[in-house]
Amino acid sequence: MAKDYFTVSDFYCVKCGNKGIPVARKMSRQREEGHLKKMHCIYCKMETNHREIRPFDFGYTVEDLREDIANGVYEGKQYETA
């Protein structure tokens, strides 16, 4: 019987930059680095895009996300729904 290995991906809101709900994914079902997923933000109280950041990826980090938010990369784009 084959074993299913899982990793936990952290999701960060592109509006407020806070860490959202983590998601466990099978190794065979991983998404690309920096994947966007529409989820409910527990801090903004609305559905926004969340950037997926995995602990073993070194290309896009939480600091990069917070810098993009501060520089307005996500401003004016339709990333949220009420």
d(CA 31, CA 37): 10
d(CA 23, CA 29): 12
pLDDT at 1: 52
Given a cut of 70, the residues of the chain with pLDDT beneath it are: 1-3, 76-82
pLDDT at 35: 83
Structure tokens at 4: 């299913």
The predicted-structure confidence for 62-82, as pLDDT tens digits, reads as follows: 888 889 889 988 876 655 454
Query: How many CB atoms lie under 10 A from the CB of residue 74?
Result: 19
- Cα 77 to chain centroid distance, Å, stands at 16
pLDDT at 26: 85
pLDDT at 11: 92
pLDDT at 76: 66
For the chain, the C-alpha Rg in angstroms (whole number) is 14
